[in-house]
Amino acid sequence: MTFYFTIPSGNVSLSRLEQFAMERLQFLIQLAACKGDVIQATDLCMQLQHVEHSECLIQGTLKDKISHFVLRLASCIDAGMADVIFYAETQLFAFRLSCMTKEEKLAFLTSLSKHMKGRDLESVKHTTTRGALAVLANILRQMSLTELADTWDEGRTDRTISVPFLFALSLVAKRKVNLHRGWAEVPYCMLNDIFLSVFGCLLQSATKKAKKQMTLVMEDDRFNKLFHKLKDVFLSYSSKQNCGISCTKVPLRCEDVDAETDFFPPCMRHLHQQLRQRHRLSHHSRVKYTLFQKECGLPVHEALRFWREEYSQEPHHSAGCRHNWREERDRYTYNIRHLYGLEGARKNYRGHDCDTIQKQQPGPNEEWGCPFQHFDQAKLSEIMDIEDISQTFQSRISHLSEHGDPNAACKVYFLAKLKKMADRNCIETDLKTCDCHCNETRQRISAGCKWTCEDTRTLTDVTEVKRDQLNIGEKKKIVPKQISCSNCRILCNRTPFDKVPLQEFHKPHEYYQNFKFLFEGLTSVRDNNVDVESTF
């Protein structure tokens, strides 16, 4: 792991310099095209073990440093190229950081300590760089390196470190940390975010510094030709890879999993509920749920934290497993890292698809299974009652389940929950300010939307009052419309009543992604439209 503090020195041929830069550039473009997808990024990084001339991408090597600094200079000639390289370099740093074992973390901290030892921060002129280095120095002086590596690896939440809030903006934005006079109290379980923020700040400030030297560098025709050749490769290769960074996926966090279960398919939601109740899962259930979390975007370090917190609790008397994290830490850590492709054969395992789950038969003490294939009607009805599925839909789901069509039953279940959301027409939203007399609001009311705002400044009810009075032909005239109220800062998505956008899903994580996409209001009509009225 490296922050690329020092520019490498020595002699290298121009052809080798170009080769290193080209290989790294193509890799970074592919990494940017993953848009934060953990599975795709893992696949891409795993290929490096088998690709010839990949030494320029192996962290800490001389070729890694050379290719990084060449691209840092090359990015100064094109803003679009600079944005993609910066994003991809931070993603690569985050991936390397999340994959480190405790021993690798100790080695990383030791190397960092050697670099910071005896360094005079007051001599650093750039304010941002000086602040970033001060953060690193503050982290290193908290405790011994061995204890720091242990605390970091264990994901301790009971111990915190004070960091200037500017280096914890991602955590502050999500209300993950407490603030006191401009300092954020960051738990050690979130240390990865601080290192990533410091890396980004150092990279940005170093790139700005490099731009000031570009006039001198471009006087050398060899570098001039090389940088423009890299730019041409970037423009041609990036257009094929679709490496725009505007729609990147945000990785899940351990503490967000409970809230995300609202979007889980019933099979995985059932596993999560069983885990929270018993604090244990059987082996096959744990494997299936871990792979599902992985495909939903939970990084390996957050997965370790999730299972550590759960398995550190006392198991319920009904749980078949009595092991705990303290005694079986190494085994559980190895198993989770193995599922993420970081141990053993380093195979990037995928989650089980619906057909595989349905064809397998769970054991008598195992929690996993497809509710529409393996659960009896009493258990299935209990799950649907908890989700407040109406009796009409419950009858349809039960009929399909009894007649051996679990995929169709799951689809109806999905649409039943989705229809509840569509009937509300808008999702309950927190308002920053509220003025119900603005023109946009009056336009909504005249269009058939009824708004009720309470003193809590929360949008509590948005209904389409004329919907039930319309015939089918009139309903189809309602077009998708998105109105943004500048005063209320409300985003109102109005979806056609007779159409709900739906993609096919054959794996549990596809169910999750599709439902979450629709729930968050991205309701533009896509190629696959489902007629809700005819479906039911």
- Predicted local distance difference test score (pLDDT) of residue 43: 78
Same domain, 198 and 320: no
Of 72, 77, 83, residue with least CA distance to 29: 83
Same domain, 444 and 340: yes
- Predicted local distance difference test score (pLDDT) of residue 455: 29
- pTM, two decimal places: 0.67
Residue 492 lies in a domain: no
- Predicted local distance difference test score (pLDDT) of residue 238: 67
Residue 527 lies in a domain: no
Same domain, 221 and 271: no
Q: How far apart are CA 6 and CA 147, in angstroms?
A: 27
Same domain, 154 and 107: yes
Same domain, 375 and 331: yes
- Predicted local distance difference test score (pLDDT) of residue 128: 86
Domain termination site, one of 451, 484, 500: 451
Same domain, 146 and 284: no
- Predicted local distance difference test score (pLDDT) of residue 514: 83
- Predicted local distance difference test score (pLDDT) of residue 289: 95
**pLDDT tens-digit readout, 82-97:** 888 999 999 899 888 8
- Predicted local distance difference test score (pLDDT) of residue 316: 87
Residue 240 CA neighbour count, 13 Å, CB half: 7
Same domain, 282 and 227: no
- Predicted local distance difference test score (pLDDT) of residue 243: 55
| Overall domain count for the chain | 2
Residue 189 lies in a domain: yes
Collect the ranges in the chain with pLDDT lower than 50.
50, 245-248, 425-501, 522-536
Burial bucket for residue 361 (CB in 10 Å: 0-12, 13-18, 19+): exposed
Q: How far apart are CA 217 and CA 256, in angstroms?
A: 47
Same domain, 379 and 440: yes
Domain termination site, one of 242, 269, 292: 242
Same domain, 36 and 144: yes
Same domain, 198 and 98: yes
- Predicted local distance difference test score (pLDDT) of residue 55: 67
- Predicted local distance difference test score (pLDDT) of residue 494: 39
- Cα distances from 469 to residues 260, 323, 390, in angstroms, run 36, 60, 22
Same domain, 312 and 214: no
Residue 383 lies in a domain: yes
Domain extent, residue 352, equals 254-426+435-451
- Predicted local distance difference test score (pLDDT) of residue 342: 85
